[in-house]
Amino acid sequence: MDRRRGMVGILAAATGLGMAFLAFRKAQRSPVRPPGRHAPRPVPQQIDQQGEPLQLTGDGVGELIHRRYWVDLADTRVSPVALIGHIKRDVAAFSPRLLARFRKTKGWGWRMAVGDEYHIEILGPWNGDVRVSEVSRNSFTFVTLRGHPEAGQIRFMASSLPGMAGGLRFEIYSWARSRDAMVYLGYNLGQIGKLVQRQVWINFCYRVAEASGGRMLGEVGVCIEELPIEGEVVRVV
C-alpha cells in the first residue's frame, strides 16, 4: 500500500511539474508569423466514427506547433500527381526505417483512401496511429488517433514550380500539440523526440527527391513555428 501511495505521489508531482512548465511556456510565448496558405485542413465528420477516436489539436496541451518541410526540384521525370501517387502506394518506402516505420493496418494494399489507417513506430516511446482524412490527386492528409503522442494532422503535397519545366515542389506541413502534459514535458525537455521527428521528415524529403528523378535546388527547407492557442481548433465539418 505504501509503495502504491508513493507511485501515486510521484505521478502527481510529475503532472504538476508538467502543468507548471506549460504555464511558464505560455507566459514566455512570443508572437509568430501566420501560417499563410498552409492552413489546417477540415476534418470530415464521418472519419471520427470509424473506430478509435480522433485526437485533434483541441484535445492536446501546450503550444500549437506548425512544422513545414519542403524540397524544390528541377528536371524531374514525373508530374506532381504521379509523384504523390507513388508515395500513396508505399508510404513506408519513403520513411527511414531506423527512425520510423509505417505499417498499414486498415485499407487495401497499394491504394490509399479516406479512412485508411497506419501504425507508425518511431524511435523512442513515440509510437502512434493515424487515419487518412483527405486524399486528392496531388496530396493526402493524416490525422492522429487517440494514444498518439501528438494531437493534430500532417499533410503531404506536390505541386509544379511556376515558370520551370520539370520543376516541382514537395512539402510536408503539420499542426500539432502534445497529447498530454507528460508527453509535452518529455518532448520539450528531453529533445530526443524533436530531433528524431525532424530527421524523419528531412530524410523523407530526400527520398522523394530521389524518386522524382530530378535534382534538388538547394537543401531541404525547414520551418517550425508556434501559433497562438486561439488559432488551434481544427473544425470538424
Q: Reply yes or no on whether the pLDDT at 41 is more than 90.
A: no
Please, which residues have CB within 8 angstroms of residue 6's CB and are 6 or more apart in sequence? none
Per residue in 108-127, pLDDT tens? 988 999 999 999 998 766 78
Domains of the chain: 2-231 (3.30.530.20)
Residues 177-223 pLDDT 10s: 999 998 888 777 767 778 888 999 999 999 999 999 999 999 999 99
Cα 211 off chain centre by: 21
Place of cell 530527421: 199
Determine contact, residues 60/177, Cβ cutoff 8 Å: yes
| Phi, psi values for residue 41, rounded to 5° | -90, 140
The answer to whether the beta carbons of residues 66 and 38 sit under 8 Å apart is: yes
Q: Are 130 and 145 in contact (CB under 8 A)?
A: yes
Distance (Å, rounded) from C-alpha 25 to C-alpha 22?
5
pTM of the model: 0.81
In this prediction, residues 63-91 reach a mean pLDDT of 96
Distance CA 83, CA 159 (A): 10
